[in-house]
Amino acid sequence: MTHYKRFSIVITVFVVFMVNFGMCNPAAAPDEMKGEHPGRKKDHAKAPEIEKKYLLGHFDPASDGNFVKVKAPYAHRDHLYLLRDVYHAFIKMHKAAKADGISLVIISATRNFDYQKKIWQSKWTGRRRVDGKNLAKTVPDPVERARIILKYSAMPGTSRHHWGTDIDINSVNKAYFETGEGLKTYQWLVRHAGRFGFVQPYTPKGKDRPHGYEEEPWHWTYNPIAKIYTHQYRNKIRYEDITGFDGSETAPRIDVIKHYVLGINPACLKVPIEPKP
Ligand SMILES: [Zn+2]
């Protein structure tokens, strides 16, 4: 049995366990995760241990057997990768959307630490302008500079895009989702994505979500698996793990884990209770 198959089966067993014990909303569980599974053992079901390198993005999805390439017509460009179960759930959602006249295309999927570091460094050093500003010149205070970048970009090692569970759909321009085709697409997702396991983690900021990134109507997460990642990230990752880029010393000062990694839609935070041995 390959490493991937083992990984996939353990995740499936765990999700079946959560659904059967009411630990996640069965209505939100994708079809292929319901029903009997040959490996299902209620008494022994336990969350698979996710290695820190997968939580932090220290791997290459192009050469890692846990990840599959997203093909046309599901991707708008080459070299996009997802966890296999996430990809299959997306294909089901894509078909259902198409039948309703809605086109869903993945424009960003798994981004590893190095990829995220390029985004972060370009904004930190001023090579890429943020709101028309060179932050290296206009915002000398490192905490303040990090907070501005954190409106929309994660620190390397803290992005949900490291996990292979999260996707950006159709456009990363908020205006696209406010009228016409984009609005119809967003309304379809709000209404139907949950049936396929997908949830919007970055909902509008407010009482339910006081901290974290700004609202992202394009960003959707495959919650049955992402929940497990979120839970283990909280348990395993410490600030000494978030390092290797400019401004990483600001992470504990901002409390990036509490306020950003966990600053998400509460529906993505309902963590499974670890079964007693
Ligand atoms: Zn995203």
Cβ proximity of 230 and 268 under 8 Å = yes
pLDDT confidence bin for 48, thresholds 50/70/90: confident
Q: How far apart are CA 41 and CA 77, in angstroms?
A: 40
Q: Tell me, yes or no, whether 218 lies in a domain.
A: yes
Range of lowest pLDDT (29-38, 212-221, 251-260): 29-38
- Protein residues with C-beta less than 5 angstroms from the ion ligand 1: 168, 219
Q: How far apart are CA 185 and CA 183, in angstroms?
A: 5
Range of the domain at 122: 54-268
- Contacts for 243 with CB less than 8 Å, ≥ 6 apart: 157
Q: Tell me, yes or no, whether 61 lies in a domain.
A: yes
Give the Å distance between the CA of 134 and the centre of ligand 1: 23
Give the Å distance between the CA of 81 and the centre of ligand 1: 14
Q: Tell me, yes or no, whether 259 lies in a domain.
A: yes
Q: Tell me, yes or no, whether 215 lies in a domain.
A: yes
Which stretches of the chain are DSSP H helices? 3-20, 52-56, 84-99, 113-124, 135-138, 142-149, 180-192, 223-236, 250-254, 256
Q: Tell which wins on pLDDT, 29 or 150.
A: 150
pLDDT tens column, 196-211 = 999 999 999 999 999 9
Q: Tell me, yes or no, whether 123 lies in a domain.
A: yes
pTM: 0.83
Question: Given its phi and psi angles, is residue 117 left (phi above 0), alpha (psi -120 to 50 degrees) or beta?
Answer: alpha
- Contacts for 173 with CB less than 8 Å, ≥ 6 apart: none
pLDDT tens column, 116-167 = 999 999 999 999 999 999 999 999 999 999 999 999 899 999 999 999 999 9
Parallel/antiparallel/unpaired status of strands 198-199 and 81-83: unpaired
Q: What percent of the chain has pLDDT over 70?
A: 81
Q: Tell me, yes or no, whether 14 lies in a domain.
A: no
CATH code (residue 124): 3.30.1380.10
Q: Tell me, yes or no, whether 29 lies in a domain.
A: no
Q: How many domains does the chain have?
A: 1
Give the Å distance between the CA of 246 and the centre of ligand 1: 21
Helix or strand run (H / E) with residue 67: strand 67-69
Q: Tell me, yes or no, whether 262 lies in a domain.
A: yes
Give the Å distance between the CA of 247 and the centre of ligand 1: 21
Let me know the angle formed at the C-alpha of 230 by 8 and 149, rounded to the nearest 5 degrees.
125
Give the Å distance between the CA of 226 and the centre of ligand 1: 13
